[in-house]
Chain A
Amino acid sequence: MKNPLDSLGQTVALGFVLTLIVAFLIPIISQ
């Protein structure tokens, strides 16, 4: 399997996915 980090587009897409996860986690962690 190809490393997604070898593709700049996939790296940026993963960055946005991680942002979505973080945005949902913030209210949960702070409780």
Chain B
Amino acid sequence: MEILSSQAYWVFFFRWLHILSGIMWIGHLWYFNFTQAPTVPKIPMELRPAITKFILPEALFWFRWSAFATWVTGLIVGGLSGWLVPAIMLGVGSGSQHVTAIGIGMWLGTIMLFNVWIIIWPNQRKVIGLVQADDAGKKAAARRASLASRVNTLLSIPMLYCMAANHFYT
């Protein structure tokens, strides 16, 4: 297994894990925004608990932990590749568009992770009943979670551009 002693292999290996977890994360994000949010208002009230009590808690579990895994494996790829610190600095003045592109992508992804764990998840805990809240509190929490989720949908588009197109930048 000579391949295992190759640094390039491990960069690839963690990039592969990064892509797997990233697909799970953004897949769930887009499910929430493209499928669930527009459809739930059309579901008869008595059937809605199927979403809020069963599907949503499960989807949120995979959503938030795949977000975390995506971020961690991304940092490992950057660390092993040697461009983590310059990318955090957005490659300012580096002359490397590649580092700037991946750096902007990393920061967009980091803002998105913050939204998932600090805004969406604590508010969704109220919506799905893990944290006690009255009806007004639940409504406000759902609104905050929904807006943060929409912001992440918006940011996912340039974030994926930076992640996928950075090889065009030299």
Interface on A for B, CB 8 Å cutoff?
Answer: 3, 5-6, 8, 11-12, 14-16, 18-19, 21-23, 25-27, 29-31
Contact = CB atoms under 8 A, between A and B. Distances in A.
Dominant secondary structure at the B interface: helix
A15 B100 contact: no
B90 interface: yes
Interface stretch (B53-61, B111-119, B131-139, B147-155): B147-155
8 contacts: A3-B147, A8-B150, A19-B158, A22-B104, A22-B161, A29-B92, A29-B100, A30-B95
A30 B95 CA distance: 5
Contact of B91 (A3, A14, A29): A29
A5 B162 contact: no
B110 interface: no
Contacts of B50: none
A13 B154 CA distance: 8
Contacts, number: 68
A15 B34 CA distance: 14
Given A5-B147, A8-B33, A29-B92, A22 B158 contact: yes
A6 B74 CA distance: 31
B169 interface: yes
B97 interface: yes
